[in-house]
C-alpha cells in the first residue's frame, strides 16, 4: 500500500509542478507582451483562445496514448509496447502537420470569425501564423512528454519544461525588445521565441525517450498496422470530443455572463484567474493516476485499481480544498490587485466561494474521469460532459441566472449541479465496470 502511494506521488507531483509552471510562465509572457501595446495584448489573447482548443485536442491525444501504453506495459506485451510508441509519434506528427498547414491557410478568415479587426487583426495574424503554424511542435512536445513519463521517468518532462520555459522567457525578452543589437520584432518576436523554445523541447524529449526502456524502434511509418484504426485513436476521439465540449460550453457560459454587464463579466474572469491554481493538483494527480491505474488494469489487478483511485481522490480533494480555503480567506486582499469596482469584486468573491465549497466534487469528477479513461472507457466521460455541460450547466445557468435574475450566483450554482451530476454518473459507471471485470 505504501509503495503505490509513493509511486502515485512520484508521478503526480512533477505533473502538478508542470501545470503550475505553465500557468505562471503564461502570466509572465502576458506581462512582457503588455509592454508592447494594448493592441498586442488583445491580439495574443485572441490567438490564445484559439490555441486553447488546439491544446485540448493535443492533451486528449496524450491521455489516450498514456492509457493505452500503460495498459500494454501492465500486460507485459513487448511487441505491443513498441507498436504503441510508433503509432503515438506518427499520429502526433500527422495531426500536428495537418493543423499547422490549415492554420497557415485559414489564418485570416479564422481570426476574422473570432472578431479580429484592423490593427488587432494584423498583429494577431503575425502571432497566429508562427504559433499555430508550428502546431506540430506543440503536439510532439505534449505527446513525447507523456511517453517519457509513462515509461517511468516521471520527472524528466518537468525538467525539460523548466528549460523550455526559461529559454522561452529569454528569447521573448531578446526578440520582442531587440536586445544585443538584434532587430526589435515585437509580437512576431514573441511568436518566434516560443516556437524555437518548443523545438528545443521536442529534441530534448525525443532524445530522452530513446534512453528509456520504450524507445522508438525502426521506421516511424509502417504499412503493417493502420494507425487510423489503432486503439489510441479509438480512445482518443471521445476524449477529444469531451474536451472540446467543455471548451465550447465555456464560451456559451461567457456569452450568458457578459449579458449581465462588463463589471460582472470582469469579476468572473478575475475569479477564474485566481482560482485556476485550485485545480492544478487535481489535474496533476489525474495524470499520475491514469498511468498507474491503466498499468494495474492491464495487469488485471483490481485491488491496485481501487486503491489508486481512492488515494488519488482523497489526496486531491484535501489539497484542493485547503488551497481553495486559503484563496477564499485571502479573497478581500487578492481582489484589490485586480480591481476596486464593487460589482466586479462581488462577482469575484462569488466565484472564489463556489470554487472553494465544490473542490471535493470537482476532484471526484477529474479523478473518476481519469480512472475510467485509464480502464479503456472514454465514452462515459464524453456523454456525462455532453449532458452535464450542455443540458444542466448551460440550461440552469440561463434559467437561474437570466430568467430568475440570480445572475452570477445562478451561473455558478448551475456549475455545481453539473459537477454533482457528472460525479454520480462517473462513480456509478466506475463501480459497474470494475464489478464486471474478471480481475484477480
Residues constituting the chain? 440
Place of cell 528509456: 212
Contact of 48 with 124, CB cutoff 8 Å: no
Q: Do 288 and 66 contact (CB within 8 A), yes or no?
A: no
Within 10 angstroms of residue 265's Cβ, the number of other Cβ atoms is 20
pLDDT score for 406: 94
3-class SS string, the chain: CHHHHHHHHHHHHHHHHHHHHHHHHHHHHHHHHHCCCHHHHHHHHHHHHHHHHHHHHHHHHHHHHHHHHHHHHHCCCHHHHHHHHHHHHHHHHHHHHHHHHHHHHHHHHHHHHCCCCHHHHHHHHHHHHHHHHHHHHHHHHHHHHHHHHHCCCCCHHHHHHHHHHHHHHHHHHHHHHCHHHCCCCCHHHHHHHHHHHHHHHHHHHHHHHCCCCCCCCCCCCCCCCCHHHCHHHHHHHHHHHHHHHHHHHHHHHHHHHHCCCHHHHHHHHHHHHHHHHHHHHHHHHHHHHHHHHHHHHHCCCHHHHHHHHHHHHHHHHHHHHHHHHHHHHHHHHHHHHCCCCHHHHHHHHHHHHHHHHCHHHHHHHHHHHHHHHHCCCCHHHHHHHHHHHHHHHHHHHHHHHHHCCCCHHHHHHHHHHHHHHHHHHHHHHHHHHHHCCCCC
CA distance 378 to 187: 39
Q: What per-residue confidence (pLDDT) applies to 223?
A: 59
pTM recorded for the entire structure: 0.80
What angle do the packed helices 262-275 and 408-435 form, to 10 degrees? 40
Residue where the block lists cell 484504426: 229
Residues 6+ apart with CB under 8 A from 125: 107, 108, 111
Q: In the chain, which residues have pLDDT < 70?
A: 1-3, 22-31, 34, 38, 222-226, 438-440
- In the structure grid, which three cell numbers stand for residue 29, read together? 509572457
Residue 151 has φ and ψ, to the nearest 5°, of -80, 5
CA atoms within 13 A on the CB side of 409: 6
Q: Which grid coordinates are listed for 75?
A: 500486460
Region at 102 (left for phi over 0; alpha for psi -120 to 50; beta for the rest): alpha
What does the pLDDT read at residue 439? 47
HSE-CB at 422 with a 13 A cutoff on CA atoms is 35
Q: Which three three-digit cell numbers place residue 231?
A: 486503439
pLDDT value at position 413? 97
Smallest CA-to-CA distance from 317 within 365, 271, 256 is with 365
CB atoms within 10 A of CB 144: 27
Residue with cell 480567506: 329
pLDDT, residue 233, reads 83
State residue 3's pLDDT score. Answer: 65
Whether 71 and 230 have beta carbons less than 8 Å apart is answered as no
- Any idea where the domains of the chain sit in the sequence? 35-229, 236-440
Q: Is-contact 129 46, C-beta < 8 A?
A: no
Q: Pick the closest to residue 94 from 130, 58, 67, 129 (CA basis).
A: 58
278, 282, 285, 290: CA torsion to nearest 10: -160
Whole-number pLDDT of residue 421: 97
Cα separation of 56 and 58, whole Å? 6
Taking Cα atoms as reference points, which of 309, 306, 307 lies closest to residue 289?
309
Residues with Cβ within 8 Å of residue 398, at least 6 apart in sequence: 256
Amino acid at each position: 500500500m505504501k509503495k503505490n502511494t509513493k509511486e502515485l506521488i512520484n508521478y503526480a507531483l512533477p505533473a502538478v509542478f508542470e501545470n503550475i509552471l505553465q500557468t505562471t510562465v503564461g502570466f509572465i509572457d502576458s506581462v512582457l507582451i503588455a509592454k508592447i501595446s494594448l493592441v498586442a495584448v488583445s491580439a495574443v489573447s485572441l490567438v490564445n483562445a484559439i490555441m486553447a482548443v488546439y491544446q485540448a485536442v493535443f492533451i486528449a491525444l496524450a491521455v489516450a496514448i498514456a492509457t493505452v501504453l500503460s495498459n500494454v506495459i501492465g500486460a507485459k506485451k513487448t511487441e505491443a509496447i513498441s507498436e504503441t510508441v510508433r503509432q503515438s509519434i506518427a499520429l502526433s506528427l500527422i495531426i500536428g502537420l495537418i493543423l499547422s498547414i490549415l492554420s497557415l491557410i485559414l489564418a485570416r478568415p479564422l481570426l476574422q470569425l473570432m472578431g479580429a479587426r484592423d490593427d488587432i487583426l494584423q498583429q494577431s495574424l503575425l502571432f497566429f501564423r508562427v504559433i499555430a503554424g508550428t502546431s506540430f511542435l506543440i503536439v510532439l512536445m505534449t505527446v513525447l512528454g507523456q511517453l517519457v513519463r509513462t515509461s517511468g521517468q516521471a520527472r524528466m518532462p518537468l525538467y525539460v519544461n523548466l528549460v523550455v520555459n526559461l529559454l522561452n522567457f529569454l528569447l521573448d525578452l531578446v526578440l520582442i525588445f531587440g536586445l544585443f543589437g538584434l532587430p526589435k520584432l515585437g509580437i512576431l518576436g514573441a511568436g518566434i521565441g516560443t516556437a524555437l523554445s518548443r523545438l528545443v523541447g521536442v529534441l530534448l524529449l525525443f532524445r530522452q525517450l530513446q534512453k528509456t526502456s520504450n524507445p522508438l524502434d525502426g521506421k516511424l511509418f509502417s504499412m503493417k498496422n493502420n494507425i487510423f484504426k489503432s486503439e489510441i485513436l479509438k480512445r482518443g476521439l471521445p476524449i477529444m470530443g469531451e474536451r472540446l465540449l467543455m471548451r465550447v460550453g465555456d464560451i456559451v457560459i461567457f456569452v450568458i455572463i457578459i449579458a449581465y454587464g462588463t463589471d460582472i463579466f470582469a469579476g468572473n474572469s478575475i475569479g477564474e484567474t485566481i482560482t485556476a491554481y485550485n485545480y492544478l493538483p487535481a489535474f496533476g494527480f489525474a495524470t499520475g493516476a491514469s498511468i498507474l491505474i491503466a498499468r494495474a488494469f492491464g495487469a488485471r489487478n483490481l485491488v491496485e485499481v481501487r486503491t489508486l483511485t481512492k488515494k488519488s481522490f482523497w489526496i486531491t480533494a484535501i489539497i484542493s480544498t485547503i488551497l481553495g480555503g486559503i484563496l477564499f480567506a485571502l479573497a478581500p486582499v487578492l481582489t484589490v490587485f485586480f480591481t476596486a469596482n464593487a460589482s466586479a469584486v462581488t462577482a469575484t468573491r462569488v466565484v472564489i466561494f463556489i470554487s472553494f465549497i465544490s473542490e471535493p466534487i470537482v476532484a471526484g469528477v477529474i479523478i473518476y474521469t481519469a480512472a475510467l479513461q485509464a480502464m479503456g472507457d472514454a465514452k462515459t466521460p464524453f456523454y456525462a460532459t455532453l449532458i452535464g455541460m450542455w443540458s444542466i450547466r448551460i440550461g440552469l445557468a440561463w434559467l437561474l441566472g437570466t430568467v430568475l435574475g440570480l445572475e452570477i450566483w445562478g451561473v455558478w450554482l448551475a456549475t455545481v449541479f453539473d459537477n454533482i451530476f457528472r460525479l454520480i454518473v462517473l462513480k456509478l459507471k466506475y463501480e459497474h465496470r470494475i464489478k464486471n471485470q474478471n480481475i484477480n
